[in-house]
Structure 1
Amino acid sequence: MSLESTANAATTALPRFGIKDTRRATVLAFLAWTFAVYDYILFGTLLPEMSKTFGWDASKASFVSTLVSVGTAVVALAIGPVVDWIGRRRGMILTVAGTAVSSAASAATPGIGFLVGIRALSGLGLSEQAVNATYLNEIYAVTEDEKIKKRRGLVYSLVQGGWPLGVLIAVAFVAVFLPLVGWRGCFLLAFFPAVIIALLCRKLKESPQFELELTLRKMRKQGQVAEADAMAASYGLVKQESGGLVAIFQGKALRNTLVLGLAWIVNWFGIQVFSVLGTTVLTEGKGVSFTGSLLMLIVINAVGYLGYIFHGWAGDRFGRRNVIAVGWLLSGILFSLTLTVAHGTFAVVVLYSFGMFFLIGPYAALLFYMGECYETQCRATGTAFLNALSQPGAIVAGVIVTSMLASGHTWGSAALIVGALGTFLSGVLMFAARTAETLKG
């Protein structure tokens, strides 16, 4: 059995998490996510260059990307239950270490089979945001740092902003080093920052919520069931009939698991097309040179980072669900305009930038909102499960795009139908999720 919060007043408070430890955790979470994204995006950014090496056409490259998404999904889905078992601190170390291995091994890939297998490990890095959401949600709830506690949505947006910064660094890195070391060298150089961050994560403290969970597990294992029940009750917790994956499909969690899961899948149509495969959209869909696409993406993702800050602030002020929904609706419209009416560098960069602003920015509110949807015992499982559904979205998007390209459609029309429309529909779906107020009820 697992535990869930009740409305009853607790007689015992969880230990407070110190200011220094809170800020260390925040900085390391930001760095871990930034360089996890860095590795994840390197593959999509370098795909045109890898295609030249292996002789892939546009359809074959899209197929390879889809296979990588399948492997990534399998790994990402397994992480949640693991982190709910081993803890948030060890989960951070595991995911960043996986990023390092993924980067180094990708540099040595001889072809499709090895590449698909090793890039599946990027699912560990992709899961970093789910671990972050779980860990920071818990420590911000009990931190002694009142400044962070009062503005935790905004602060988390700075952490989650590691996505556009990771993309920006990856793109800038490729622009500088690709002519010098080739695409294999770019992957190899990405290994080093991930290793350093994994070592630094060893200095993190576990969250008080998970430490309590470990204590209760130990007591129950030793046969002290009544004592464990009494201790849990003193913290305002009661037994659930089930935990893990089963728990996220029960009670108050069920509706948001279903709605957010579907929204994640559909929104990743847009993420896969416009963020992961951004260089391909710009080169094939808008006729931009590869070098020009890299420079454009640096500007686009710099604007995207501002989107995280804005949506983190707006989520605290206007409610996270509504901010997410409206952002994705606007993003779908802006990307449609980019692909249909935008001509010339200025128009493409402006519309694409604001499309990215409203596509990725809402994730600052979404990841923290997801942490609020679940109890301690299944929080990592819930957030990681939803996070892993990004990959089915990437897979479906890849299958549709691949089939459209194979049947004669252009990249521009495929991006419009799959990416822009999918982003808009995900915004519509978000209005069916429960608000934070009803989650607490």
Structure 2
Amino acid sequence: MTEVQTQQAWYRSLDRKQWRTLAAANLGWLFDGFETYALILTAGVALKQLHPEAGAQTPFYIGLTIAMTLLGWGVGGILGGIAADYLGRRKVLLLSITLYSLFTGLSAAAWNWESFLVLRLLTGVTLGSEWGTGTSLVAEMWPAHARAKAAGLMQCGLGLGFFLASAAWHFIAPLGPGAWRYMFLLGVLPALFALWLRTGVPESDRWTRVAKRRSTLRGQASLTEEERSYTRFTLRQILSDPRMRRLTILGSIMSAVTTCAWWGISTWVPAYVGSMAAKDGHNAESYASTAGMIYNVGAIAGYISLGFAADRFGRKPTVFTYFAVSLLLTPVLFLWTHDLTLVLLLCAVNGFFTLGQYTWMPVWLPEFYPTHLRATGAAFVFNAARFIAFLGPLLAGSIIAALGGYGTAATVVGLIYIVGMLVVPFCPETRGRQLPE
């Protein structure tokens, strides 16, 4: 950080291109968040209409539907990250937003639960490719002293999307048994954003330089080992180079912790609060929607706070704290609190840490990899976890169905946060460092 930067507010050194890049990544993630939380909120209603014979096994089918979305997300995310390293950040971001708008809209036309499952899988494939691309673009456009802050501001788009989905469902849910279809029709709107993305957002200069170098080196017979890293397939390079492989393994374990825990625990928060409200004689869907909004207000604050804390205190202590508090809050919310008002308050605190912790990925992962591998590496770590994490909803759904309650399932799955706490100390501290070239 230069002397001039220390004497002025962090944001005054930024230009319009950097802010437009952040806005594009934030909006792309907001649309992803809306679509994802729309599924969480409506899956139960949709499956009652599409698969009424499920009966007591409905939680299992909800878990299966969410799991298929996660599985598609993992595949699409890795493919999208690879494509972004070869084709460019902006182009892949544009393609991703256009395609997931299409498949989200088609989900509204599902005629049975099998068709809904297939459409959710395809939507997941297109959703997945957005994050790694946007994350790499923001990291490469923003300076070192503000990069983590930008990551937090970008990541909060997911919480904003979750909040908007909760708010929309609050008004759409009363429209009848087919109301869930309107939620997915709203998911078509992001396609309009793609028109602005084509002209208003620049390509990363770092990627442009790397693309030129890769093109120059391709076909040459005599290359150094460093030059060969530009010509090897990006996924092979991050898994074969010893240093890249170590960072990829560490990041993937932490990513699996964050992702498996969230999808296996926190996706049940609205349904859990709704069930509590129903026992007290209140409207379950209204309280579920309210819980979702409160949870995501906390999450938005958590996303942003992690980025600022990572720049202030460092990556390691910040991420460790988020894991530790998430571990503690899970039984507090699901087992030890029985007052409905207090549970709603705890939803905000829980959201701050359990969903807010996702910001560690756009903060830390771009700092693990050089530019020519960044989108592939970040996307692989972020998305490969879904090949394990998709089991979270299935496991939790099965436990809920077997035991008839959310508390035990959430507490058991929540123990995975201990693994994240054990891995954090082995990762490099990268606060204030320039991105590796």
Q: CA deviation at 1:406?
A: 4.5
Whole-angstrom distance in 2 between the partners of 1:256 and 1:217: 23
Asked if structure 1 preserves the Cα contact closer than 8 Å seen for 2:60 and 2:397, the reply is: yes
Conserved? CA contact 1:245–1:382, under 8 Å: yes
Give, in angstroms, the shift of residue 301 of structure 1. Answer: 0.9
Q: Contact 1:104–1:190 (CA<8 Å) still a contact in 2? A: yes
Q: Check conservation: 1:300, 1:353, Cα contact below 8 A.
A: yes
Distance 1:337 1:286 in 2: 18
Offset of residue 43 of structure 1: 0.8
State the aligned residue count: 408
Q: Is the 8 A contact 2:258 2:358 kept in 1?
A: no
Aligned 1:10-409 pairs, distance under 5 A: 19-54=15-50, 55=52, 56=54, 57-120=58-121, 121-141=123-143, 150-180=145-175, 182-192=179-189, 194-203=190-199, 204-221=201-218, 238-240=227-229, 242-249=232-239, 250-284=241-275, 289-409=284-404
TM-score of the aligned structures, taking structure 2 as reference length = 0.86
* Amino acid in the other structure paired with 1:427: M
Q: 1:72 to 1:277 in 2, by over 3 A?
A: farther
1:144 aligns with none
Letter in 2 for 1:247: Q
Same amino acid, percent of matched pairs: 21
Measure how far apart 1:20 and its partner are.
Answer: 2.0
Contact 1:75 1:123 in 2 (8 A): yes
Correspondence for 2:8: none
CA contact (8 A) 1:137 1:371 kept: yes
Deviation at 1:238, TM superposition (A): 5.0
Deviation readout 1:76-120 (Å, 9 max, x if unpaired)? 232211111111001110221122012201101112332222212
Residue pair 2:259, 2:389 contacting (<8 A) in 1 also:
yes
Aligned partner of residue 191 in structure 1, secondary structure: coil
CA distance in 1, matches of 2:194, 2:272: 33
Are 1:304 and 1:356, in contact at CA under 8 Å, matched by a contact in 2? yes
Residue 438 of structure 1: CA displacement?
Answer: 12
Which stretch of structure 1 is more off in the superposition, 119-128 or 316-325? 119-128
Aligned equivalents of 1:391, 1:284: Cα separation in 2: 28
Distance 1:415 1:284 in 2: 15
**Cα deviation digits, residues 154-187 of structure 1 (max 9, x gap):** 1321111111111101111111123237110111
- Corresponding residue for residue 6 of structure 2: none
Worse-matched range after superposition: 69-78 or 380-389: 69-78
Deviation at 1:352, TM superposition (A): 2.5
- 2:415 matches 1:426: no
In 1: Cα distance, 2:403 partner to 2:268 partner:
19
Query: For residue 5 of structure 2, what is the aligned residue in structure 1?
Result: none
Paired amino acid for 1:431: P
| Kept after mapping to 1: 8 A contact 2:79/2:129 | no
Separation (CA, whole Å) in 1 of partners of 2:209 and 2:412: 48
Q: Cα distance 1:179–1:287, how it changes in 2: closer, same or farther (>3 A)?
A: closer
Distance 1:416 1:406 in 2: 15
Q: Structure 1, residues 393-426: CA drift from partner, whole Å, max 9, x if none? A: 43221232243245335222112211x2223432
Letter of the aligned partner of 1:423 in structure 2? Y
- Higher mean displacement: 358-367 or 131-140: 358-367
Alpha-carbon distance in 1 for matches of 2:319, 2:382: 16
Match of 1:5 in 2: none
Matched residues in 1 for 2:319 and 2:156: separation?
15
Q: Which amino acid aligns with 1:272?
A: W
**TM-score, scaled to structure 1:** 0.85
- Displacement, 1:252? 2.5
Relative to structure 1, the CA distance from residue 326 to residue 318 in structure 2 (aligned partners, 3 Å threshold; closer, same or farther) is: same
> Structure 1 residue 129: deviation in Å?
2.1
Q: Please, which runs of 5 or more residues in structure 1 have no aligned partner?
A: 1-16, 142-148
Inter-partner Cα distance in structure 1 for 2:264 and 2:273? 10
SS of the counterpart of 1:110?
A: coil
Deviation at 1:239, TM superposition (A): 4.5
* In 1, Cα distance between equivalents of 2:135 and 2:383: 14
In 1, distance between residues paired with 2:35 and 2:137?
A: 22
C-alpha distance in structure 2 between counterparts of 1:255 and 1:218, whole Å:
28
- Give the whole-Å Cα distance in 1 for the aligned partners of 2:153 and 2:38: 22
Question: 2:426 is paired with a residue of what secondary structure?
Answer: coil
Secondary structure of the equivalent of 1:115? helix
Cα RMSD, aligned residues only: 2.7
Gaps of 5+ in 2: 1-12
CA deviation vs aligned residue, 1:39-94 (integer Å, no higher than 9, x gap): 12211111121122121322232233323332332222322111111110011102
Maintained 8 Å contact 2:277/2:340? no
Aligned-partner Cα distance in 1 for 2:46–2:257? 27
